[in-house]
Amino acid sequence: MLRRVSLVAAGVVIVVIAIVAFVGLFMLRQPGPLAGTTTKLHLETVAALSDAVEWPRPNDPHPDWVGYLPTTTWHVPANSTIQVQIDQEDGASGLRNPFWGKVFGIEGGTMHVKYFDDKGNPQEGDMDSIDPTMAAHTFAIPDLGVFVPLLGVGDTAPPGTQNIITFSFKTKGPGIYRWQCFVPCAAGTLFGNGGPMSTIGYMGGELIVT
């Protein structure tokens, strides 16, 4: 009897160790913060990390996850203007709430977008909103009132196309500000909100203001 109890206890310990290792090495593993403090953020959004062009992550535990690159944790100065460029490479997923097709909280109230129209012709211009069905992702910092919908790459765009989206926003005082994509684009998860949508380092992160 004692031997059986010992075997069961040992089995439980092994299972607990395996779960901890899985969570620690697989689920919680994430890229570190961007080195140094900056007023310029250059990011890339991809449908799968294995497709990354500018900042590949060859050893990432989730190569098929959608994500922002090179990282989603950034140090920026307080009470400053932050310039952002996002090279958006993913197709449209669409917003569940069309209200979020509008730009909020950025300098001048518009973002500048370089893209290809539905005939495959290059276009660019300032936008204060997009068709909510054409959103691929969003860049949102709720505590700063910042919300930017990112135009998805159209089906007629040339292979390897990026929609280049630029805008600026102002930081407030020191603190840690959570940011998040609000397009539920985690395929295979409950309502598209699991996996990369709920994991720092993929479709959400932190703006560390100092």
pLDDT tens string 99-138: 889 999 999 999 999 999 988 899 999 999 999 999 999 9
Q: Which amino acid is at 190?
A: L
CA dist., res. 207 & res. 74, Å (int): 5
Specify whether 78 is located in the same domain as 25: no
Q: Which amino acid is at 135?
A: A
Specify whether 142 is located in the same domain as 188: yes
| CATH number of the domain where residue 194 is located | 2.60.40.420
Q: What is the side-by-side order of every strand in the sheet holding 204-209?
A: 73-76, 204-209, 175-180, 135-141, 146-151
Specify whether 187 is located in the same domain as 146: yes
Backbone angles phi, psi at 86, to 5 degrees: -120, 120
Domains: count for the chain: 2
Domain that holds residue 116: 32-209
Q: What is the pLDDT of residues 128-178, one digit of tens each?
A: 999 999 999 999 999 999 999 999 999 889 988 999 999 999 999 999 999
CA dist., res. 69 & res. 149, Å (int): 17
Specify whether 12 is located in the same domain as 39: no
Question: Which secondary structure element, helix H or strand E, spans residue 25, and what is its range?
Answer: none
Could you identify the residue written with the tokens 């505590």? Answer: 143
